[in-house]
Amino acid sequence: MTANEVIALARVGELSKLSIAIKDDNTVLFGFINLGLVELYKRFPLKNDEAIVTLRDGKTIYKLDGTDTDVSMGEPFMYLIGAYEDGTDNDFSASALSLPINEEDNIYSVNSISYNSIQIPLVTTGAYISLIYVAKPTKVTALTLDEELDLPDQMIEALLHYIGYRAHGAMDANIQTESNTHYMRFEASCNKLKELGVGIAPDDVSMNSRISMKGFV
């Protein structure tokens, strides 16, 4: 479903009781949609990617924002869900060792030290670490209104509830109850999606499936 279609649905549904100033302001609605996408990606790892870190002597902190020359990555990083190491060969095999994440007392742990940086305490120069992460959703802009949203259709209902929650929350206190209602509907919709198993569960991201998708075997 496109952003234009979502906006049209919201205007006759969740936003129908609001003033024209809110429901006809595309810039505001783009913001609500993008916030909703981020919220859904926080709850459901919908798009996974991989970063390959080349370890360097004397360096333990690596940036995952696309600026670090020792990190090769694809989509913009959102949060880490897996880490693997395999000696000095970046063509990772099925025997690659899974590394712990954010285990404070574990010297082998890969640690998230900021929203876009990781720390790798033990360094073997020339070795590689594979990081599996949830990627950010593609933002909606005025130029992408007729493109498919970076979201499965079964999550559109939850997105509409989120738009309703944000839009009503931006109004005066007299309609805050309506905002709360939309948020409860959003939560209920997310819980239903979890019951149905929609999305990619982090525990299902295995090294074998990643290798197959990458074409390494």
Examine residue 164 and state whether it is found in any structural domain, yes or no: yes
Domain of 111 in residue numbering reads as: 48-136
- Residue 116 is predicted with a pLDDT of 94
Count other Cβ atoms within 10 Å, centred on residue 102.
13
- Give pTM, 2 decimals: 0.80
The type of residue at 109 is: S
Residues 39 and 142 both lie in one domain = yes
pLDDT digits (tens, 9 = 90+) for 24-74: 888 899 999 999 999 999 999 899 999 999 999 889 999 999 999 999 999
Task: Tell me which of 6-10, 72-76, 171-175, 186-190 is least confident.
Answer: 171-175
Q: Is-contact 84 129, C-beta < 8 A?
A: yes
Structural domain includes residue 213: no
Residue 129 CB neighbour total at 10 angstroms: 24
Let me know whether 110 and 161 are in one domain. no
Residue 216 falls within a domain, yes or no? no
Number of domains in the chain: 2
Domain match, 107 and 52 both: yes
- Asked if residue 211 has pLDDT above 50, the reply is no
